[in-house]
Structure 1
Amino acid sequence: MKHDEHLHTLTGAYALDALTGEEQRAFAAHLRRCEACLGEVGEFEATAARLAAAVSLPAPAPMRRAVLTRIDTVRQAPPRTRPPAPALLTTALTRRAGPFVIAASIAAAATFGGLAVRQHQQAEQARTQAQHSARQAQDLAAVLAASDARAVHGRTTTGAATTVVTSALREEAAFVSSGLPAPPADRTYQLWFDDQGTMRPAGLLPGDGATLMEGGPGTARAVGLTLEPSGGSLRPTTTPLLLLPLPA
């Protein structure tokens, strides 16, 4: 009996292929005879797919254009040529070109140098964003795979599907939405923990997707979602679009 109770807690880990060896085989056999776990695994797999889609990022437009522009001009191996000595090249330019040509050459070099700096900055920004997204995905996956992970599902007043996954052991909660319309330009979605009637801010939600809620669930009994002025509010200023009771 205790063995079966332990297996019931592995639905999240199984959905993420995090089980191995004997534990994986035991749970697979348990899944064939437990309809409750089978349904919960399906819900966790759907939530994991939403999380993956929410944190995936396309390549930055400037980087993509630069790669496509240069792809046909970059050699697989550089040609075997010997560059002229810098001193000789400078002497040749001085003798054969007037000061305007030399000035134009310097200006072109500065322009290309500035372009290289901008491309480097764009690449660094893309790398930083990718690292942040990777950390967010890891945190969300950790909540989902927690041994005590519990998921509840609901819909907003606009019809968007939502899922809240909580882990008491990690003291964290993740919010996932699908079909949430983009907020107006001067508004943002804001998440809340309902602490027995007192709404506690739990982070902003720019739009559809997944996010790790700010602050642990604690003794919260529900999760709320409202549409607030840009930047968020200390207390809800509009009627909740969602008030989803959390599992006990």
Structure 2
Amino acid sequence: MTSADLHTLTGAYALHALSDEEREAFKRHLAACEPCAQETAELSATAARLGLAVSLTPRPVLREQVLRRITTVRQETPREPALSRSGRKSLPGRLLSRWALAACLAAAAALGGTTVWQHQRAEDALQEARQSVQETDRIAAVLAAPDARTRATTLPGGATGTVTVSDRQDKAVFVVSGMADPPQGKVYQLWFDDGGTMRSAGLMDPGRSDQSVLMHGALDGASGMGITIEPTGGSEQPTSTPLALMNFPA
């Protein structure tokens, strides 16, 4: 493989699509080629953003409720209320008008309450979207950091995992592909390995087989990471034998 060939492998390297031999050759090339190192970091960050992209669809609850209420209200033609001998509206007519007014007010209040509820739901969804974007930006910052170092491994079940560490960011990102679903009522938990002492680094999303996770907390001198299966909500300390233990790249 020539030096010219190596310049064309930045995209394949960022997507983990190289063979072991090609990957080792390209890593040696990166150490001496600043343009390729920069392009690889940018492509890795872009791949992470695409993998974490989310879309939010507004819930049609308000429309459904309004349409459902319409079917329960029958429109009638106006009728003149009966008059008493004094020429005033009779009591039944006055009561009917009051009940109609009360019903309208109640319907307006209910619809207003639904609108407020819908507004709150929209605000919650917007806040979740903002948090997702912020998380994506933090992940991209680690992957694109000039001092980012990466190590890949094969996990049980054939999944592949890659950890990227940046001392400058004092953070680590774990990217996994093909992860099997955890057992019912369980979740994958990440850990920093502080010389044999495990420190929680957050939970993985149990519903996604491919994901990028910003490990919670600072590196703080950790030498590696581990993955265990824990009860939903996570544990303060590992309660099972680690599925995988990885040393951070030097």
> What TM-score does the superposition give when structure 1 sets the normalisation length?
0.67
Percent identity (aligned) = 40
SS of residue in 1 equivalent to 2:246: strand
Q: Which residue of 1 aligns with 2:82?
A: none
CA RMSD of aligned residues (A): 3.4
Q: 1:48, CA displacement in angstroms? A: 3.8
Q: Which residue of 1 aligns with 2:59?
A: 62
Displacement over 3 Å in runs of 4+:
33-44, 65-70
Q: 1:161, CA displacement in angstroms? A: 1.8
SS of residue in 1 equivalent to 2:169: coil
Q: Which residue of 1 aligns with 2:188?
A: 189
One-letter code aligned to 1:62: R
Query: Are 1:228 and 2:227 counterparts?
Result: no
Q: Which runs of 5+ in 2 are unaligned?
A: 1-9, 15-25, 67-92
Q: Which residue of 1 aligns with 2:158?
A: 159
CA distance in 1, matches of 2:65, 2:40: 44
Q: Which residue of 1 aligns with 2:50?
A: 52
Q: Check conservation: 2:62, 2:115, Cα contact below 8 A.
A: no
SS of residue in 1 equivalent to 2:117: helix
Q: Which residue of 2 aligns with 1:212?
A: 214
Q: Check conservation: 1:60, 1:126, Cα contact below 8 A.
A: no
Q: Check conservation: 2:41, 2:144, Cα contact below 8 A.
A: no
Q: Which residue of 2 aligns with 1:140?
A: 139
Q: Which residue of 2 aligns with 1:238?
A: 240
Q: Which residue of 2 aligns with 1:98?
A: 97
SS of residue in 2 equivalent to 1:111: helix
CA distance in 1, matches of 2:193, 2:39: 27
**Cα distance 1:169–1:67, how it changes in 2: closer, same or farther (>3 A)?**
farther
Q: What whole-Å deviation, never above 9, does each CA across 1:4-60 have from its counterpart, x for those lacking one?
A: xxxxxxx9xxx8xxxxxxxxxxxxxxx9x9466659955873564244322x22214
SS of residue in 2 equivalent to 1:158: helix
Q: Check conservation: 1:47, 1:163, Cα contact below 8 A.
A: no
Q: Which residue of 2 aligns with 1:109?
A: 108
One-letter code aligned to 1:53: G
CA distance in 2, matches of 1:66, 1:46: 41
Q: Which runs of 5+ in 1 are unaligned?
A: 1-10, 16-30, 71-93
SS of residue in 2 equivalent to 1:166: strand
Q: Check conservation: 1:164, 1:173, Cα contact below 8 A.
A: yes
One-letter code aligned to 2:108: A
CA distance in 2, matches of 1:202, 1:224: 9
Paired residues in the alignment total 194
